[in-house]
Structure 1
Amino acid sequence: MGDSQSTSTGADTDADKSSFEVSELRSKILEIARNTELDPPEKNLRIQALYSEKGKTCVEQANVDEDEAAAADSSEQPEYPPCSHYKRNCYIVAKCCNKPFACRLCHNENARGHEINRFETEAMICRKCGKKQEVSSHCVSPDCSWKETFYFCEVCRFWSDDVEKDVFHCPDCGICRRGKKEDYEHCNGCKLCLPHSLYAEHTCTDAENNCAICGEYLQDSTIEVNLLRCGHSLHSSCYQNALQQNLFHCPLCRKSFLNPAEFAAQAVRSDRILSEFHMPEEFQDFTAKITCNDCNQTSETPFHFMGHKCQHCSSFNTVVLSRYKAPRSES
C-alpha cells in the first residue's frame, strides 16, 4: 500500500509539471501572437524558437494552431474608433503621449490637457496588418496589401484615400488645404489660400482668428471658410446656418455678409414685407432717424415695425437712433 501510494504521488507530480510546462508554452506562444510590435515573419521566428526549446510531446500538447494564434492576434489587437474626419489606411502614433489615434483631430478630441503637434509625428500603425512603423506613404511590410495612398504629405503627416476630395500643400500657409492648387492663390495678408474669384476684390484680415459665430480657430479648420465682404471669416457651415435663421450680418461688425446678388434679393423681399404690413394709425405719422451698418451714413425714413431702409444704399441693416412724429400739414 505504501509503495502504491508513493508511486501515485510521484506520477501526479510529473503530470503537474508537464501540465505547467504546456500551459507556460501556450501562454508564451499567445503572447507572441498578440504582440502588435512584431510583424508576421518575426512572430513565426520567435514561435519556432520556442518549439526548439521544448520537447516534441510538450509542443504537441500545447496545440496552438495557426487559427488560434491568428484569432488571439486579432482579438487582442487594440480596437481604435473609426475616424470620422478622414479616409485613410493607418493610425498615427502621437509623439506627445505615445498613443495611437485615427488622426490628429481624433487625438485632440480625446486626449486630455494637450494638443498634438502634427509635424512631430514619427510613427504610424497600418490598418491592414497592424505593423507599427516609421511614417510613410504606405506600409513597408512586403506581405501587406496597403501599397499606395491617394494623397500623402510628408510635412504635415497627412494621409487621404478619399478620391473625391482634392488636397494640396501650401508652403506659405505651412499646412495642407482642401481643393486643387491651381484654383487658389495665397494671400500673405490674410495668411489664407483664396479662390481666384475672391482674391482680387477681397478685404484683407488676419486669419489668426476664430469663426465669428462658433468661435473655433480657423487657420487649421477642416471645414471650408467663407471670407466675408467686411473681412471677417466664418465656417461655411456656420454661414449657411445663419442664413437659414435669417441672420444676414457679421456678428463682429454687423455689416451685411450677403454678396451683391443676395443683397439685392433681400432688399426686394424686405420692400415687399413693408408694403404688405400696414402700420397702426397712431404710428403712421412717425419718422425714424436711422444709421446704416453697411454704409455708416444716417438718414430718415418712415417708422415701421418690420424694418427701416437706408436712403443711401437701400440696405435694411439699420439701427434706429430716434423717432419723432411729424406734424400734420394744415390743409
Structure 2
Amino acid sequence: MPEWPTDAVVSLHHNPKWVIKLELRMSSFHCELNSTVDLGYGNFGCTHYRRRCKIRAPCCDEIFDCRHCHNESKNSMEINPIDRHDIPRHELKRVICSLCDTEQEVQQQCFHCGVCMGKYFCSKCKFFDDDISKQQYHCNECGICRTGGEENFFHCNRCGCCYSLFMKDSHNCVERAMHHNCPVCFEFLFETTKDITVLPCGHTIHLECVKEMHNIFSKFLVIIGWCSFLC
C-alpha cells in the first residue's frame, strides 16, 4: 500500500468526507473493506436528518441537505415574499451522493460508489434517513412517512392523520385535525417533525408549545380551559 505524506494524512484526518472518498478510491488496497454500503454512516446530513445525500429542489433547481433546509431558506425574511415557497416534496427527481458527489435519479444506493444514502428509504416520499431508531414508516392514507413504528399507530380517516393506538377508542374526532398551523408557533402540524399532542377537545398542538403556554398562563388556563384559550 502506498505511503502518504504526513501533511496529507493530517488534512484528511480533519475532513471525514475526503477520508471516505480516499477509502473508496483505494478500496483495492484495503482487504478489510468488504463493502462500501455503510461508509459515512452517521457522518453526513443536517440538523434535521442524518443521511448520505443531498437533494436538488425541483422548484428552484438548487441543492439542499433536505426539504426542511430548503423551506427554511426559501421562506426566510431575506427572501422576497413573492418568491417564498415550499418544496413540492413528492416531485423530487434528483439527489447528490454526499460521498462521491454523483448526481443521479432518486434511489437508495448510489449507482456510482455503491454507498447506501439512507438506511431508511421511501420511494413514494423520496425520503432518506440514516437514523432508523425513529422507526419510520409510510402511511398511505396520510401520503407521507411517519415515525414511531407502524405497529404503534392507527390512521383515523375522519381526523385525517395517524394517532397512537392508545387513543383509538377514546379520542374526539375533529375533521382534518392536523391539517392546520399550530395555534402557538404557526408551523403546519401535518408535516411537522416535532412531537404533537391532542387536547381533550380533539384539537392538536405541538407538545413543546403546550408546555410553554402552561408555564406562562397556567393559572389562567385552569379557569378557562385550553380549547377556549387557543381555538
Whether the TM-score (by the shorter chain) exceeds 0.5 is: yes
TM-score (norm 1): 0.49
Equivalent in 186, 205, 208 of residue 237 of structure 1 = 208
Structure 1 runs (4+) deviating above 4 angstroms are none
State whether residues 173 and 202 of structure 2, in contact with CA within 8 Å, keep that contact through their aligned partners in structure 1.
yes
Q: 1:157 to 1:225 in 2, by over 3 A?
A: same
Trace 1:168-317 onto structure 2 (pairs within 5 A).
168-205=137-174, 206=176, 207-247=178-218, 254-256=224-226
Secondary structure class of the residue paired with 1:210: coil
Distance between the aligned counterparts of 2:201 and 2:172, measured in 1?
Answer: 7
Give the CA deviation at 1:138. Answer: 1.8
Give the CA deviation at 1:179. Answer: 0.9
Are 1:122 and 2:93 an aligned pair? yes
State whether residues 70 and 86 of structure 2, in contact with CA within 8 Å, keep that contact through their aligned partners in structure 1.
yes
Trace 1:20-31 onto structure 2 (pairs within 5 A).
none
Trace 1:127-142 onto structure 2 (pairs within 5 A).
127-141=98-112
- Aligned position for 2:49: 86
Secondary structure class of the residue paired with 2:145: strand
Q: Which amino acid is the alignment partner of residue 212 of structure 2? A: N
Are 1:103 and 2:71 an aligned pair? no
1:117-174 Cα distance to aligned partner (Å, 9 max, x none): 0100000000011111111012111xx2613632101111110101321111100001
Secondary structure class of the residue paired with 1:226: strand
Percentage identity across aligned positions? 37
Q: Which amino acid is the alignment partner of residue 176 of structure 1? A: C
Gapped runs of 5+ residues in structure 2? 1-43
1:49-92 Cα distance to aligned partner (Å, 9 max, x none): xxxxxxxxxxxxxxxxxxxxxxxxxxxxxxxx961111100000
1:17-40 Cα distance to aligned partner (Å, 9 max, x none): xxxxxxxxxxxxxxxxxxxxxxxx
- Aligned position for 1:55: none
Gapped runs of 5+ residues in structure 1? 1-80, 258-292, 294-331
State whether residues 51 and 117 of structure 2, in contact with CA within 8 Å, keep that contact through their aligned partners in structure 1.
no
1:296-319 Cα distance to aligned partner (Å, 9 max, x none): xxxxxxxxxxxxxxxxxxxxxxxx
Distance between the aligned counterparts of 2:68 and 2:219, measured in 1?
Answer: 31
Secondary structure class of the residue paired with 2:167: helix
Equivalent in 112, 115, 119 of residue 150 of structure 1 = 119
Q: Identify which of structures 1 and 2 has the higher relative contact order when contacts are C-alpha pairs closer than 8 Å and 6+ apart.
A: 2
Distance between the aligned counterparts of 2:206 and 2:148, measured in 1?
Answer: 16
Distance between the aligned counterparts of 2:125 and 2:108, measured in 1?
Answer: 12
Q: Which amino acid is the alignment partner of residue 218 of structure 1? A: L
Give the CA deviation at 1:97. Answer: 1.1
Q: CA RMSD in A?
A: 2.3
Distance between the aligned counterparts of 1:134 and 1:227, measured in 2?
Answer: 39
Distance between the aligned counterparts of 2:86 and 2:123, measured in 1?
Answer: 20
TM-score (norm 2): 0.69
